Amino acid sequence: MNTLRIYLSIICTSIRARMEYKTSFLFYVFAILVFYSGQIGLLLVVLNRFHEIQGWTMGEMAFLYSLLALAQGFTNLLFSQLVHFDQMIVAGEFDRMLVRPLSPLGQVIFSKFEISTVAHLIMGISAFWFSTHFSSIEWTLKKIILFPIIVTGGVLIAGAIRLMVSAVAFWTLRNRSLVHTAVFSSKEFIVYPVSIYNTGVQFFLTFVFPIAFINFYPAHLFLDRSGEELLHPALAMGTPLVGITLFTISIIAWKVGVNHYQSSGS
């Protein structure tokens, strides 16, 4: 209980620090909304020109996007500080965390609570509302129960990727290029249906770098789409299992990295 209070105190301190410059914070939220709006706008232009993408209608594409945006929103809420972990190592901040009677990973995660995540969640909720009105989703009890489980699985996948990328910094100190490639740029692959890519790319996004499980595969389950375009129909239910498996592997990678870590000397 005392540990929880300490983490809550760290979160509150982070929020106060972030809100100290309210204008800067509001501009940051606005910039995120503009970025996502531009992304959605481009998608709408493409759909307006071709009416559908690989058999996916506008409503179905909106649902695909909503799963991605919701997973990214909650991932940023929980794991935002991991993308800056290399800076903590170089500045010697992580050394101080190792001597405290708290989990080093917990301290890293809670050292920055990104409340601007509200912008990501607004876009996710908006896309979800749009998709439920312009697609043929039939919300059965099974789907209602599965939805938060699927979103949680997507968050675990995205969070695991951030954690594994962060662990690389224990050996390299700097990992900015990997962060931009694996965390930020990679999600552009799943804004559109993975089925538009060739089999090799689909295999990579399914079994090597499994971000297709964040939205593409579970979307088939909720939209009742035919499994013909899937590598295997059973993959539509794979998000929770992939999320748990990948996050477990990432925790192991993190622990190996901590054991390997030597002070940067800063």
pTM summary value: 0.84
Determine the pLDDT at residue 123: 77
Cα–Cα distance, 84 to 76 (Å, whole number): 12
Position 205 confidence tier, pLDDT thresholds 50, 70, 90: very high
The tokens for 103 are 């989990």
Domain ranges of the chain: 2-260
Q: Which of 179, 131, 143, 177 is nearest to 158 (CA)?
A: 179
- Tally the C-alpha atoms within 13 A of residue 4's C-alpha that lie toward its C-beta: 1
User: Which segment, 38-52, 84-98, 241-255, is predicted with the most confidence on average?
Assistant: 241-255
| Cβ(190)–Cβ(215) below 8 Å | yes
Ranking 107-121, 222-236, 248-262 by mean pLDDT, the lowest is 107-121
| 8-19 average pLDDT score | 60
Burial class (CB in 10 A: 0-12, 13-18, 19+), 244: middle
Ranking 17-31, 158-172, 234-248 by mean pLDDT, the lowest is 17-31
Cα–Cα distance, 178 to 189 (Å, whole number): 16
Q: What is the pLDDT of residues 90-130, one digit of tens each?
A: 888 888 888 877 788 888 887 776 666 777 777 788 878 88
Q: Which of 94, 133, 80 is nearest to 264 (CA)?
A: 94
Cα–Cα distance, 182 to 175 (Å, whole number): 10
Greater model confidence, 180 or 228: 180
Q: Which of 224, 242, 240, 248 is nearest to 148 (CA)?
A: 240
Position 42 confidence tier, pLDDT thresholds 50, 70, 90: low
Runs of H (alpha helix) within the chain: 2-19, 22-50, 58-79, 85-90, 93-98, 104-110, 117-134, 141-172, 176-179, 199-203, 212-223, 239-260
Determine the pLDDT at residue 200: 93
Q: What is the pLDDT of residues 69-87, one digit of tens each?
A: 899 888 988 888 888 888 8
What percent of the chain has a predicted confidence (pLDDT) above 90? Answer: 32
Determine the pLDDT at residue 251: 96
Q: What mean pLDDT is reported for the chain?
A: 82
Position 184 confidence tier, pLDDT thresholds 50, 70, 90: confident
Position 5 confidence tier, pLDDT thresholds 50, 70, 90: low
